[in-house]
Amino acid sequence: MNPKKKALGRGLSAILESPDTDITSEDISGNFVAGAIASLPISQIEANPFQPRTDFDEETLTDLAASIKEQGIIQPLTVRKMGYDKYQLIAGERRLKASQIAGLTEVPCYIRIANDQQMLEMALVENIQRENLNAIEIGISYQRLLDECNFSQDELCKRVGKDRSTITNYIRLLRLPAEVQVAIRDSKISMGHARALINIDDEETQVTILHNIISKDLSVREVEEIARNLNKQSSVRKEP
């Protein structure tokens, strides 16, 4: 078995918490000390290029910054070393942004060894499990784990702790028209509304109903009923 693939198969904790990848600090003999925390200048930490999150709510960042000012950073960030005095963020972008708002110049970090594929996996899984991604970002993350990390459905279910139907429902959102996806991102409609719209075949009709959901404050049940009626009408038209 390919040892690289095996390491990836152990999941997020295999890299974030494994002593095999921990190079945070050394003891006086030059041996690496697993579990140690380094204080790194924020100016030396680059953003994660594999970050799946596209939206950072300013209000929640401000709240987190206030908490950090009061209590400090409880959960250290995780980074990988890129060169002399240069690091790349693996996990904790919200904490990093909030720390900057709070006026911090240094943040506590674990330093790990990780290649690009491991970085991608960690960024996606960490955000799904620990951050408040919107439904579209979650769907994109699941799809990327399947496509770019070559996970099977069963492997993905185990990795993120979700059942197959939950993952499938999120991925199906990516088939919706762009305008509907934006409405989901902006929390203008719920996941329940979105699932009902998925059951409508015509994209123009999906967008029209989206407008009605927003303007008329339609409930999920009402949209589900509309979808059922449209599908019945479509079935009748298809009959010879």
What residues act catalytically? 93
Alpha helix ranges (H) inside the chain: 3-9, 12-16, 58-71, 93-101, 116-130, 135-148, 153-160, 164-172, 178-185, 191-198, 203-216, 220-238
Q: Report yes or no: 71 and 108 within 8 Å, Cβ to Cβ.
A: no
Q: For residue 147, what are its two tokens? A: 């496509």
Residue that has been written with the tokens 């990390």 in this structure: 149
Cα separation of the two ends of the chain:
56
Reduced to 3 states, what is the DSSP secondary structure of residue 33? strand
Residue that has been written with the tokens 């005095």 in this structure: 85
